Amino acid sequence: MLSHLLTVLPAFLAYFAVAVVLLAFFLLVYVNVTPYHEFALIRAGNAAAAISLSGALLGFAMPVANVIAHSDTIADLLAWGGIAGIIQILAYLVARFTLPQMNEDIPAGKTASAIFLAALSLSVGLINAACMSY
């Protein structure tokens, strides 16, 4: 048991590290695509910003987790992680154009738009993860 654990530990650490980097990179891109400053809003207690950003993060993490569970290489994880990020950004842009007031509602703390955006992000992430089956 211990020898097996020590054998697979490097792969675990590599996949985990790459996944954390992907999550951090996705967050960096996502918060620069949105016209409001999520982290500042969250620090100020804005629940709408926390809801929408959490939905985007979870929507991205689901396909990344699926790829980790089914991929053979770190290169697969990087490629599919990039695709998952692009899809999540596109989901945000669709929501932004569908509900143009969302860009004012979320900074104002209105949670209806944030809940819709989070639900859209989670739904897209779930479908994205299912499509990344091998």
DSSP state, residue 132: T
pLDDT in tens, 70-129: 988 999 999 999 999 999 999 999 999 999 999 999 999 999 999 999 999 999 999 999
Q: Which two tokens stand for residue 21?
A: 């980097």
Q: What is the pLDDT of residues 2-42, one digit of tens each?
A: 888 778 899 999 999 999 999 999 999 999 999 999 999 99
Calculate mean pLDDT across residues 41-61: 98
Tokens of 31: 């918060």
Q: What confidence tier does 48 reach under pLDDT thresholds 50, 70, 90?
A: very high
Q: Residue 133 above 80 pLDDT?
A: no
Instruction: Annotate 82-129 with DSSP letters as a single string.
Output: HHHHHHHHHHHHHHHHHSTTHHHHTTTT-HHHHHHHHHHHHHHHHHHH
Residue 134 has pLDDT above 80, yes or no: no
